[in-house]
Amino acid sequence: MSLKPLLPGALSDRGQQMTLGVMGGGQLGRMFVQAAQAMGYFTAVLDPDPASPAGLISHFHIQTAYDDEQGLAQLMQRCDAITTEFENVPAPALVTLGAHRPVAPSAPCVAVAQDRIKEKAHFLACAPVSGVYPAPYAAIESDELLAAVPADLLPGILKTARMGYDGKGQMRVSTREELASAWEQLGRVPCVLEKMLPLQSECSVIVARGTNGQVVSFPVQANTHRDGILATTEVYEGAVPADLAERAQASTVAIANHLHYVGVLCVEYFVVDNGTGGQDLVVNEMAPRPHNSGHYTQNACDMSQFEAQVRTLAGLPLPQPRQHSPAIMVNLLGDLWFEPNATHAERSERAVTPPWTQVLALPGTHLHLYGKLSARPGRKMGHLNITAPTVAQVRETAAQVLQLLGLRT
């Protein structure tokens, strides 16, 4: 990747306005586009959906499949550098783009995140540096490997090696019989069996790594999930114990450095009982892009994760982000747009507007909706960032927000 900075507002070598591209037109792509445009760049989005949230606001929207040769050629013709908003972009497409334009993160980095087996091996390779290991696991790709699974990995969680997200492609198993049955139900595709650990909480770290190898880290985020989907993120002093936060940041930097990663990277961790009354940290998975848990940076930091994504892609300076306010992020799913007891038929006809007037009357509330044209239960429609001068105040306001929206605390 070229180390020559792509300066905002400048003309490229092709005599066109400096343009940054993104593979994928969802909400993460939309917020990248907004950050890039705010800094003076033109933007291009490749996404097959004519109503994609990012495509609706970008200068250029290339409506083709991610592996369409003509679409990729158009994206390269339009753009000076290209990123991705999700990890399941076809690897050959990123290889094609990377042969002609700077691409960050690179195809090899994304390939590691696409495959849990490769991802776990990468975490193991980095662990001696940081001392943070993944959960004990075994790869299952054949009947022989299934039969060889150590007994002490049960009970465990069987996860598909590819295409799993938000709790999908996962099954809990307690016995060898349940494991064999679960692998059949998952289609006998390559999987990873992870030992079930005494989980106490979850956290994540977002880092940005530049083309020159410089790495900056955002604060550690304490995350709460509901039904496998992130519900809230809390970021303030004490949200995660200081010793665990320090180890999580060191581990994430090691993971980024070992890959020679360029871009924004999120790594998720489990906090577990270490068996002696204390806590330990276990690395779970990584996302080669901005992350839901980092949305608070838009209103609580002097540089958001999306501006960091722009800076790493364009080769701009990368100062250490500073958090100026305690923050809580609330994920807004499509369920909020329907009465709690509505039938399926009523949900298709009777969408309602959440009580934004009451919510936005509370100090420090910042609403971010993604421009999706229809709500569905479980669909990510937006998020709400809450900031305040003190931890007590941000928690009090968040409790009021959750009550107004009818969400669990």
Binding-site annotation: residue ranges: 116, 159, 164-170, 194-197, 202, 225, 284-285
State the DSSP string of 20-84. EEEE--SHHHHHHHHHHHHTT-EEEEE-S-TT-TTTTTSSEEE-S-TT-HHHHHHHHHH-SEEEE
User: Considering only CA atoms, which of 246, 295, 239 is closest in space to residue 266?
Assistant: 295
Residue 217, C-beta contacts closer than 8 angstroms, at least 6 positions apart = 205, 206, 207, 249, 252, 253, 320, 321
For helices 91-98 and 107-114, what crossing angle results, to 10°? 170
Phi, psi of 33 (to 5 degrees): -60, -45
Residue 231 · residue 378 · CB < 8 Å:
no
CB-count exposure of residue 391 (10 Å: 0-12, 13-18, 19+): middle
State the DSSP string of 195-224. E---EEEEEEEEEEE-TTS-EEEPPPEEEE
For helices 242-258 and 116-130, what crossing angle results, to 10°? 120
Residue 209: CA count within 13 A, CB half-sphere = 21
Q: CB 148: neighbour CB atoms within 10 A?
A: 10
Q: CB 94: neighbour CB atoms within 10 A?
A: 23
User: Considering only CA atoms, which of 231, 229, 382 is closest in space to residue 298?
Assistant: 382
Calpha distance 268→286 (Å, rounded) = 6
Which amino acid is residue 196, in one-letter code?
M
For helices 116-130 and 107-114, what crossing angle results, to 10°? 100
Please give the radius of gyration of the chain, using alpha carbons only, rounded to the nearest integer.
21
Calpha distance 378→54 (Å, rounded) = 20
Tokens representing 216 are: 């900056």
Residue 217 · residue 252 · CB < 8 Å:
yes
Binding-site residues for ATP sit at 116, 159, 164-170, 194-197, 202, 225, 284-285
